[in-house]
Amino acid sequence: MNTLKRSLLLLATSLFLSGCSDSPADLIACARLGLQGFRPIAEDRAQRFQGKVQEVTARCRGGDRAVAGRAVPWIDWQNYWGAGDSSTRGAESLFGFRHLSANGRGIDGALLDLEYSRIELIRFNLFDNAGTYRDYVLGKGGVDGPALKTWPEMRLPSGHPQYSAVGGDGAQLCQGELIRARTLTGICNDIRNPLMGSINTPFSRNVTFDATFPDLGKNDLARNRHGDRLGLLQPDPQVISRRLFTREQSEPDKCRDGRGLPDQSADAHCDYLKAPFFNVLAAFWIQFMTHDWFSHLEEGRNAPDMMAVGCATQRVGNVETPLTPDQVAKLGCRPDDRMDRTFLAEDGDPATFTRDGKPYLTRAYRTTRNTVTAWWDASQIYGYDATSRRRVKRDPADPARLLLMTVGERKGAGERLGYLPLLEAGDPMNPQWAGQEATALPDNWSIGMSFFHNLFAREHNLFVDAFRKQAATTPDADSGLRNPARPDAPIAYKDVGPDELFEAGRLVVSAEIAKIHTTEWTPQLLYDEPLYVGMNGNWHGLVRHYPGLEQALDKVVVGTYGKSARAKDATQWYSVFASGPGIFGLGSHRYADAPPFAHFDPKQKDIWSLANPDHVNGGVNHFGSPFNFPEEFVTVYRLHALVPDLIEYREWDGDPNAIRNQIAVVDTSRGLATAAMRQRGLANWAVSMGRQRLGLLTLQNSPLFLQNLDMPRLGSATGKIDVVALDLIRDRERGVPRFNEFRRQYGLRQLTSFDDFIDPKLPAGSPERQRQEKIVGTLREIYGQHRCDAGKVITAAQLNADGSRINDCLGRPNGTMVDNIEDVDTVVGWQAEFARPHGFAISETQFHVFILNASRRLFSDRFFTSSFRPEFYTNLGVRWVTDNGPDGPVMEKKSSNGHDDPVSPLKRVLLRTMPELGPELAQVANAFDPWARDRGAYYTLTWKARPGAEADPAFREAKPR
């Protein structure tokens, strides 16, 4: 036995003898775990971690509960000590060592599992559709594919207006004006890959190309997996929508398909299942985000040809059978709905290549383009092409500001900051946008979009005003900004021009948005301790309180692993060590080469230079695959179930506990949103959406109004569309694998029958279990069953536990009747995941898509890594993003879930733009937690009023409906 093993055994024995509150069995498990060491990272996709640990690991990190959880397909860390509410907490400390205690082992173990998942996702789930995949697999010039940093496909093409500026047909490098700020179309974020992330570049994939477009039956695995059961309209998407997504109503006359009652009467009532720890602002926040990240549409339109969208057949006795008129009427669907088809970029057969005799596709069977910039650059506000930029109005009195105008004479200090102007007749406009606020991306406008666009326009102007104020006080002082043409010449405050300031404002607002999303929205979406630590780690790093160590790790990550030609260094070790300093700001400081201990010297000189392209760009890592979002990412953001049908309208200056109206969301969409915003004011909508719970992401909980949305632009017989059915159709058009293969591809455990969806923790006979069992019955009716054939191999993504290939029988004897679990649409599948980690508003499948892509959109963006510098953001801008505002760090008076946190970034934005909300926000720790909820102790999910809000009728409901 070597020394390390002996010491671990000694440590475990002393723990065992110490009489702590852990059970002896747990501690023996910890000792055995220590002896085994770390699990190796899978070399092959078939050996992936799958979020499942060995029995000893489960016992050490979560005792009996975690051991019991190993039997089900869902990830194990959710059952570790401390990963839920206070009932899951064990011992806090052992001989003063927090990390050795039960809670320490649980939380650290969860973080370790998450890091394993991220490493494997980076390793096995990157598939670029832009032509670079061959190099990724084969490598190039002695560099492993995953360590490649530049690609010919990411050069600007010869017809591009900036072709010459970046070097034409020579080596391309962005410089000068092109690197100063975020560009309109997204080029030159990576200065050596000018095209990456810009508009109209292809969506990538996170699944092997041969697993895309299963409906086309292009290979044996797809045919074996699905037989002839799949089609664009098969199983029928409108039937699925009506049977599996519709919100049941206890008082349909008071809901009227989501339209509420006349005069917005407060007596209206639409039932929906609610998430007690997440508010309606959070629902619209994520719509606001998706409008920044991706779109398949051009100016609100899809391809010119129209298609039928279902309400034609249903499965009866495992056979697709036409619907009768009676059945159509009973379901409430519409056979005459029509929709425009999705745009496709390429749909011919892809080229192939081989490696070690194995064939590979160079891209998916069909590809699509992202019509907005993929960067987190607030393009929905500031624009992404010349057309959208024409809708962005600047203040003629100071073009650094956005144009905002005072509307009405409402009370409140925020009112004088104003509201966005309306689109004018001369603006580029789809007719359905008439009457809306002028903004770059006006599609699917709602009161929520109006809210966040006005909010951040105000914030932009507040930044400009603060800068102007500073310029008036210290006109000759260095603003921090630099012109790359004269990198060493300071630019004084008084010399910063309006365009420069406008662009700095855009950088600041985008970084603030990214920070809100990473450290405030996501930890509330995934409301538990591992995710609080993990998400804050992504931004600030896990060692933020040890600046010397942070610097040293930053240097190792950027200087060593970031430069390596070896795949493992450039991906796995880069990711592991980046969690130390955090992703945000990686490479934004450089120190002269010196022995390792010098990194701990706080007096070192930062030698980062704007003149050095390696410093400007050196903090990014794309892991060998150019950055864009994958189609699979779009799928997991189909979050329409979050939206309630009615908004409980309140007023901040009356009694915010009173619900004055129930306003249909559909009456606050498109131009009506703008009218509602101007009539009632930003602060009242803030209180209303801040207090109300959003819809739980689960089946039978989608908004009725979205199933019946008016779409006059289509000119169809009904003039309506079922957006929920469309969610399924779009995924099928874009070739997203069905749910079970989707999970296998992401390294998650497959399901073997519809029954696996039922949350195993629920007691038999409980109302929630009965609800789930009923839904499982409906899934079986809709998707059906078949007699399985064990000779048909269905996947290459995973193997059975005994190493054999997974076949059509999913572990059952040949010829058994099995559920068509392979056919379940991904959106249906993740909404049917009833078992979830504590506080998760989304499912674990969605979450795994986020682990990869949420990290990547930070890792790949130089403005969040090496170019997070005053040379671009200004000194004020860097402080603003770091401290959540101009006036230094501000701490909350009370700790929350055991953490002393700064006042959250969105709360600071709300308080700056609407100071009148001070009293309402006084007790709010996270702006996405319902504002009147008592946050209680350690990640409680209970729906209880905070002091002062007891009279709020939202807390008086008998049932959680």
Contacts of 902 (CB under 8 A, 6+ apart): 883, 884, 889, 890, 891, 892
639 binds ligand HEM (CB under 6 A): yes
How far apart are the C-alpha atoms of 871 and 896, rounded to whole Å?
36
Contact 583, 539 (CB under 8 A): yes
- Residues 723 to 762: which contact ligand HEM by CB under 6 A? 723, 726, 730
- Cβ at position 703, least distance to ligand HEM in Å: 8
Kindly tell me which residue out of 283, 531, 682, 775 binds ligand HEM, with binding defined by CB under 6 A. Answer: 283
- Cβ at position 292, least distance to ligand HEM in Å: 11
Place of tokens 């899951």: 88
Structure token pair of residue 500: 């420069």
Q: Which CB sits closer to ligand HEM, 578 or 854?
A: 854
Kindly tell me which residue out of 643, 704, 775, 832 binds ligand HEM, with binding defined by CB under 6 A. Answer: 643
- Which residues sit opposite 526 in a β-bridge? 840
- Which residues sit opposite 234 in a β-bridge? 231
Q: Which CB sits closer to ligand HEM, 290 or 855?
A: 290
- Cβ at position 447, least distance to ligand HEM in Å: 8
Contact 207, 223 (CB under 8 A): no
Structure token pair of residue 544: 């933020």
Q: Which CB sits closer to ligand HEM, 209 or 637?
A: 637
- Cβ at position 881, least distance to ligand HEM in Å: 24
- Alpha carbon 950 to its chain's center: 34
Contact 550, 581 (CB under 8 A): yes
- Cβ at position 436, least distance to ligand HEM in Å: 13
Kindly tell me which residue out of 196, 642, 677, 832 binds ligand HEM, with binding defined by CB under 6 A. Answer: 642
Q: Site size for ligand HEM, by CB under 6 A? A: 24
How far apart are the C-alpha atoms of 809 and 795, rounded to whole Å?
12
Kindly tell me which residue out of 287, 674, 716, 860 binds ligand HEM, with binding defined by CB under 6 A. Answer: 287
Q: Which CB sits closer to ligand HEM, 308 or 658?
A: 308
Contact 725, 237 (CB under 8 A): yes
- Cβ at position 678, least distance to ligand HEM in Å: 18
- Cβ at position 337, least distance to ligand HEM in Å: 12
- Cβ at position 233, least distance to ligand HEM in Å: 16
- Residues 412 to 471: which contact ligand HEM by CB under 6 A? 444, 446
638 binds ligand HEM (CB under 6 A): yes
- Residues 523 to 552: which contact ligand HEM by CB under 6 A? none
20 binds ligand HEM (CB under 6 A): no
- Cβ at position 635, least distance to ligand HEM in Å: 8
- Cβ at position 711, least distance to ligand HEM in Å: 7
Residue type, 387: T
Piece in contact with ligand HEM (CB under 6 A), picked from 52-60, 281-289, 537-545, 568-576: 281-289
How far apart are the C-alpha atoms of 173 and 196, rounded to whole Å?
13
226 binds ligand HEM (CB under 6 A): no
> What is the C-alpha R_g of the chain?
27
How far apart are the C-alpha atoms of 544 and 361, rounded to whole Å?
43
Q: Which CB sits closer to ligand HEM, 50 or 287?
A: 287
Q: Which CB sits closer to ligand HEM, 673 or 832?
A: 673
Q: Which CB sits closer to ligand HEM, 722 or 952?
A: 722
- Cβ at position 617, least distance to ligand HEM in Å: 29
HSE at residue 146, side-chain half, CA atoms within 13 A, is 21
Kindly tell me which residue out of 52, 134, 640, 869 binds ligand HEM, with binding defined by CB under 6 A. Answer: 640
Structure token pair of residue 475: 């006109």
Piece in contact with ligand HEM (CB under 6 A), picked from 191-199, 282-290, 812-820, 905-913: 282-290
Q: Which CB sits closer to ligand HEM, 179 or 639?
A: 639
- Cβ at position 291, least distance to ligand HEM in Å: 9
Contact 344, 368 (CB under 8 A): yes
Query: Which strand (E) or helix (H) includes residue 706?
Result: helix 704-707
- Residues 881 to 920: which contact ligand HEM by CB under 6 A? none
- Cβ at position 446, least distance to ligand HEM in Å: 4
Q: Which CB sits closer to ligand HEM, 665 or 797?
A: 665
- Taking the CA atoms of 702, 268, 673 and 922 in sequence, report the sign of the dihedral they define: negative
Site string for ligand HEM, 288-327 (x = CB under 6 A): --x---xxxx----x-------------------------
Longest dimension (CA), the chain: 83
Q: Which CB sits closer to ligand HEM, 45 or 670?
A: 670
Q: Which CB sits closer to ligand HEM, 296 or 334?
A: 296
Angle at 543 between CA 537 and CA 547, to 5 degrees: 130
665 binds ligand HEM (CB under 6 A): yes
Piece in contact with ligand HEM (CB under 6 A), picked from 287-295, 410-418, 548-556, 952-960: 287-295
- Cβ at position 350, least distance to ligand HEM in Å: 22
Q: Which CB sits closer to ligand HEM, 446 or 684?
A: 446
Write phi, then psi, for 770 (nearest 5 degrees): -65, -40
382 binds ligand HEM (CB under 6 A): no
849 binds ligand HEM (CB under 6 A): no
Q: State the CB neighbour count (10 A cutoff) for residue 351.
A: 11
- Residues 145 to 164: which contact ligand HEM by CB under 6 A? none
- Which long-range contacts (C-beta less than 8 Å, at least 24 apart) are formed by 911-914? 912/458, 912/459, 912/462, 912/885, 913/414, 913/417, 913/455, 913/458, 913/459, 913/462, 913/682, 914/412, 914/413, 914/414, 914/682, 914/683, 914/686
Structure token pair of residue 76: 């194990």
Burial 905-930 (b: 16+ CB within 10 A, else e): bbbbbbbbbbebbeebbebbbbbbbb
Q: Which CB sits closer to ligand HEM, 212 or 669?
A: 669
Query: Which strand (E) or helix (H) includes residue 721?
Result: strand 720-721
Q: Which CB sits closer to ligand HEM, 290 or 867?
A: 290
- Cβ at position 803, least distance to ligand HEM in Å: 38
669 binds ligand HEM (CB under 6 A): yes
Contact 481, 500 (CB under 8 A): yes
- Cβ at position 182, least distance to ligand HEM in Å: 21
Q: Which CB sits closer to ligand HEM, 420 or 643?
A: 643
HSE at residue 483, side-chain half, CA atoms within 13 A, is 12
697 binds ligand HEM (CB under 6 A): no
How far apart are the C-alpha atoms of 861 and 201, rounded to whole Å?
16
Kindly tell me which residue out of 126, 156, 286, 852 binds ligand HEM, with binding defined by CB under 6 A. Answer: 286
Angle between helices 280-293 and 498-516 (to 10 degrees): 130
How far apart are the C-alpha atoms of 717 and 720, rounded to whole Å?
8
Contact 752, 821 (CB under 8 A): yes
637 binds ligand HEM (CB under 6 A): yes
Contact 264, 349 (CB under 8 A): no
- Which residues sit opposite 395 in a β-bridge? 398
Site string for ligand HEM, 588-627 (x = CB under 6 A): ----------------------------------------
Write phi, then psi, for 131 (nearest 5 degrees): 110, 0
How far apart are the C-alpha atoms of 177 and 519, rounded to whole Å?
32
Instruction: Report the interface residues with ligand HEM, using CB under 6 A.
Output: 283-284, 286-287, 290, 294-297, 302, 444, 446, 634, 637-640, 642-643, 665, 669, 723, 726, 730
